[in-house]
Each structure stands twice: as C-alpha cells, then as structure tokens.
Amino acid sequence: MKDINGGKLHKYVLSYLYLAPSLIVIIIFLLYPLFNSFRYSFFQWDGVGRMSFVAITNYIGIFKDAKFWISFRANLVYILFFSFIPTLFGLIVSSVVARANIRGVRIFRTIFFTPQVIASVAVGTIFGWIYAPQFGVVNQVLDLVGLESFQHAWLGSSATAPVAVGFIGVWLWTGFCIIIFVAGIQKIDEDFYASAQLDGANSVQQFFHITLPALKYEIVVVIIMTMIRALSTNVFGIVSAATGGAFGTRPISLYAYQLAFVQHDIGYASSVVAVLAVIVFVISGLSMRIGERE
C-alpha cells in the first residue's frame, strides 16, 4: 500500500466497494433476468421439463398470432389516449392559462398531479365501477340527463372497451401535461409575445409561431414518457383491475403474463416480452438522444 501502484489499486478497490452493493443487486435482479428473458425466447419450454432450442420459431409464431395483434392494437389505442390526446389537451389548456398570472397555481398543480400517486390497480378498480353496466356512474348520469338510450356496458364489448380504458389515460395524464407545459411557457420571454402583438399577430398565430416552437423539448419528453407508460407498467394494472383483459383491452404485457403464468408457455411468453422490451428501449433511446441534444 505504500508505493504508488499499491495506492492506486487501493483507491480502485475502494471505489468499487462503494459502488458494489448497488451494482450487484442491479446485475443480479435486473440485468441478468433481462438477459434471460431474451435467452428463453429462443426455446420452447413449459417451465418444468427440458428446454428445447427452437431458434426464431417463437418470433415467427408472434407474426401469425391473432391474439398478439389484438393486444398490439390495444396498446396503439392506449398510446393515442395516454399520450397524444393528453399532450394535445395539455397544450391547449396551458397556452390559455399559463400567461394569465393566476393566483393559487400551487393548489391546481397539487390537484393535477394526484392521479400520479395512485396505484394503477386502484385506478382500474374505481373506473371499473364508473363504467359498470348496472349501477355504474356513467350510465346513471346518462339516465339523469335523459340519455338512457346511450347507456351501455362500456367495458363489456370490443367496440367500446379499449376506448373506455383509453379515457382513463386521458384522466390520468392531462393534468401532468398541463403542468409541464405551463412551466415551459412561463420560461418564454414575454417580449416575444409583446412584439408579436405589435405586429398584429392574433393569439392563434402567437401559439403556432412562439409557444409551440419554444415547447418543442417539453412536448417530445412528455410524449415519449407517456408512450412508455401506455406500453408498459401503467396499463398492466389498470386493465387487470378494470376488465381483466377482456374485449380487446389486454395489452401486450398482460398477454405475456397470462402466457407465462397461466398457460406455462415460458418460451413463447418470453419472445412476446422481448418484442415489447425492444419497442420500449427504442423509444427510450430516442428520448435520450433528444435529451442530450438540449
């Protein structure tokens, strides 16, 4: 330890000792399982017997699997409702309210964020009742306003169920988008708007020429973040609680879960997981690229 090399080695060991606890649990309980998800996807396996290598057969199977594509379609609907629509609503609302110097902003901010701290199964359970065919909230409201003819088993048919689940996403994410965009707009120099007004630009023109370009970064971040939620964790719990995955609402993640833990088709389930993981990683990779550029 006395000579220079020994000191250096000592320092390196020390650095890794500090990093080790975190690094070890991440490698053993996240990275190694992720690697295994990809590895299993090349095998046929029921989880008990022998694993037999089948190369890319599972992936070819996905292409021909109608159930997978129904789930894929559900996820696309969720991307529309969890990501694009809240972003659009957020832009509209924030551009109207952000520059109006409103008092009590903190209270609205607090309220708009509350859906974020609720377990997704709890969200799904509450909306399961709101949408219920008998004694459900939506149908009761329709009854009260004299629109009984529009009453419907909202979660009980493929025509309405995916969209009904989608609306949960609008509820969940619009407030979040509003707050992010309000913060972004408040960073814009007020002089831009003042001089645009002098040039005779109306508020719609101001929105398209000043607000929208200035919010480019926030918009991309919000869309990507909500897209990832619409593809993974968020919807798994919500759908499990609200419909159990029936009537075209089952997302890819829940399909993979049922393949693995109900049908014990471990290899095929892993290939479905792998496809989902790759989609999410590509989207996350894009977001980091954009994040670095700023």
Partner 1 sequence: MMRNLRARVTHLFLYVFLIVIAFIVLLPFFIMLLGSFREHIDIIIRGPLALPKIWHIENYYDVLFKYRFGMFFRNTFYITAPTVLVSLIFAIMAAYSLVFLELPLRKLMVLLSTVLGVMIASEFIMIPLYRLMNTLKLLDTYTAAILPQLAMSAAFSTLILRSFFLGLPRDLIDAALVDGATNWRILWSILVPIAKPAIITSGALTTVWTWNSYIIPLVLIPTPSKDPLAVGLLLFQGTYTIDIPLTMTGTVVTALPMLLFYLFFQRHIIRGLTKGAVD
Contact between 170 and 215 (Cβ < 8 Å): no
Single out the segment in contact with partner 1 by CB under 8 A; choices: 13-21, 62-70, 156-164, 191-199: 13-21
Please name which of 272, 284, 161, 163 lies closest in space to residue 226, comparing C-alpha atoms: 284
x/- mask, partner 1, residues 230-249, rule CB under 8 A, reads --xx--xx--xx--------
Among residues 6 and 47, whose Cβ is nearest to partner 1? 47
Given the structure tokens 């659009």, which residue do they identify? 88
Single out the segment in contact with partner 1 by CB under 8 A; choices: 19-27, 63-71, 149-157, 191-199: 19-27
Told to check if 286 binds partner 1 by CB under 8 A, we report no
- Region 100-129 residues binding partner 1, contact defined as CB under 8 A: 100, 102, 107-123, 125-129
DSSP element (H, E) containing 157: none
CB atoms within 10 A of CB 20: 11
Contact between 165 and 245 (Cβ < 8 Å): no
Single out the segment in contact with partner 1 by CB under 8 A; choices: 75-83, 158-166, 170-178, 206-214: 170-178
- Region 27-86 residues binding partner 1, contact defined as CB under 8 A: 27-34, 36-37, 40, 47
CB of 177 to partner 1, least distance (A): 11
Told to check if 18 binds partner 1 by CB under 8 A, we report yes
Alpha helices in 2-119 (DSSP H): 4-26, 32-40, 57-64, 66-79, 85-97, 105-113
Told to check if 270 binds partner 1 by CB under 8 A, we report yes
Among residues 97 and 290, whose Cβ is nearest to partner 1? 97
Told to check if 136 binds partner 1 by CB under 8 A, we report yes
Please name which of 152, 151, 172 lies closest in space to residue 161, comparing C-alpha atoms: 152
Alpha helices in 145-265 (DSSP H): 161-185, 190-198, 203-206, 212-214, 216-231, 233-242, 252-261
Among residues 130 and 159, whose Cβ is nearest to partner 1? 130
CB of 205 to partner 1, least distance (A): 19
